[in-house]
């Protein structure tokens, strides 16, 4: 019975898929000289109305990757979106850009881009 008690939970952990919540883009603020590389499909900025992400460094969104924004991102430096990368800006989210923005790929909900 003890073997079943130990074995059953271990099997359940192997069978049940893991839930991945993604990765909040950080550090905030992103300082000058620092590079954030978005390299998977599950990066996000989900701040509330009082929360904003400020970029003074570089944000690179690699091929096949995604940054989903539901808050404000203010870009003072470089934001690069490669060929199959995606920047998704949800209702209420804003991407303010002051210096350099390069996109070879998809801007989803681009009317919120300033």
DSSP string, 51-113: -EEEESSEEEE-TT-EEEESSEEEESSEEEE-TT-EEEE-TT-EEEESSEEEESSEEETGGGB
Q: Is residue 103 part of a domain?
A: yes
Q: Is residue 39 part of a domain?
A: yes
pLDDT in tens, 3-32: 544 454 554 444 444 444 688 888 988 899
pTM over 0.85: no
Quickly state the pLDDT bin for 102 (edges 50, 70, 90): confident
Determine the Cα–Cα distance for residues 93 and 11; give it in Å rounded to an integer: 42
Q: Is residue 14 part of a domain?
A: no
Which domain covers residue 66, as residue numbers? 19-112
pLDDT in tens, 25-65: 889 888 999 999 999 888 888 765 556 888 899 999 888 89
Q: Is residue 4 part of a domain?
A: no
pLDDT at 87 over 90: no
Name the residue with tokens 């881009």: 113
Q: Is residue 9 part of a domain?
A: no
Q: Is residue 3 part of a domain?
A: no
**pLDDT the model gives residue 2:** 53
Q: Is residue 6 part of a domain?
A: no
Domain count, the chain: 1
């Amino acid at each position: 019975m003890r073997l079943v008690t130990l074995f059953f939970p271990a099997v359940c952990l192997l069978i049940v898929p893991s839930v991945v919540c993604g990765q909040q883009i950080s550090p905030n603020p992103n300082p000058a000289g620092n590079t954030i590389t978005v390299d998977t499909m599950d990066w996000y900025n989900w701040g509330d109305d009082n929360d904003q992400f400020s970029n003074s460094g570089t944000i690179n969104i690699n091929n096949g990757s995604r940054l989903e924004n539901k808050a404000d991102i203010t870009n003072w430096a470089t934001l690069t979106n490669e060929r199959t990368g995606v920047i998704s800006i949800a209702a209420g989210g804003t991407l303010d850009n002051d210096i350099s923005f390069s996109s070879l790929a998809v801007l989803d909900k681009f009317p919120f881009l300033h």
